[in-house]
Amino acid sequence: MVLTFATASISMPHLALLIRRLRSATQLGEDDIAAVRALPLQVKAVEPETPIALEGDRPHACCIIVNGFAYRSKLTESGKRQILSFHIPGDIPDLQSLVLKTMDHDLVTISAATLAFIDHADLSRLIDTHAAVARALWRETMVDAAMFRERILNLGVRSASARMAHLLVELRQRLAEVGLVEIDDKEYRFPITQSALADALGLSTVHVNRVLQEFRSQRVLDIRKNLVKLIDVEKVVAAGEFDPAYLHQIDNSRPG
């Protein structure tokens, strides 16, 4: 069920993480940044498990996650859910809706979140008039595709423990890119349940619990009360066979 939106006034911080992302790998001029900052936004505070867009919807705006987290998912006819990806502050997880008019998956918040919506018409004008911004947004979609390729590899050939380790260290790497966690930190906030982990990793909740208990006993990683602890970062990286190159960050040095 969609919950009531609380609309907030427009302010600069709502675009800060997005601008940081776009500038990280694309040369943007001051006029480009000013144009992004001038985008009209509709800012909404929502509760956990609020649908942002559902399969079959035809959105008229793209959504920036200002704070909080979201996930993309699809359901089988029997109601089984596959979580396709997780999204962090600064992400525009439905940028494809600017071109692909009908949603082919669900986009839902996993936590309480603040969302900023940009009307498709306003975003199209920005892209048409600022080529550097267009390139930066195109790059975002390419990185998104690279992450999906890695996710296919994760689900297709890696072991259950490797899948979990890879996902958790990837999230830390992505949060570090937007300044929400220090890359040397061993813990970060992420509101994940074992049920959601199971749906993301293609495992049963029983199997997820078993893998998590094994990691705990080995003092490698733990998840408690929405806090992910990478107790031994080097072992987590090794267990997940994690190479950050597919994230195409400016500094692709290995974490740990």
- pLDDT given for residue 1 in this prediction: 37
pLDDT at 254 exceeding the cut of 60: no
- pLDDT given for residue 251 in this prediction: 53
- pLDDT given for residue 140 in this prediction: 94
The 10s digit of each residue's pLDDT in 37-94 is 999 999 999 999 999 999 999 999 999 999 999 999 999 999 999 999 999 999 999 9
pLDDT at 9 exceeding the cut of 70: no
- pLDDT given for residue 214 in this prediction: 97
Going by C-alpha positions, the residue among 218, 115, 120, 212 that lies closest to residue 167 is 212
Torsion, CA 104, CA 2, CA 112, CA 181, rounded to 10: 10
Question: Using H for helix, E for strand and C for coil, what is the string for 186-227?
Answer: CEEECCCCHHHHHHHHCCCHHHHHHHHHHHHHCCCCEEECCE
- Return the ∠ at Cα 57 (arms to 121 and 145), rounded to 5°: 75
The 10s digit of each residue's pLDDT in 135-159 is 999 999 999 999 999 999 999 999 9
Residue 193 to residue 137: CA distance in whole angstroms: 31
> What are the angstrom distances between the C-alpha of 102 and each of 57, 95, 240?
6, 12, 35
Residue 102 to residue 208: CA distance in whole angstroms: 33
pLDDT at 207 exceeding the cut of 80: yes
Residue 234 to residue 218: CA distance in whole angstroms: 13
Is the CB of residue 74 less than 8 Å from the CB of residue 82?
A: yes
> How would you class 40 by CB atoms within 10 Å of its CB: exposed for 0-12, middle for 13-18, buried for 19 or more?
exposed
pLDDT at 10 exceeding the cut of 50: no
pTM above threshold 0.85: yes
The 10s digit of each residue's pLDDT in 12-38 is 578 999 998 899 888 999 999 999 999
Residue 197 to residue 216: CA distance in whole angstroms: 16
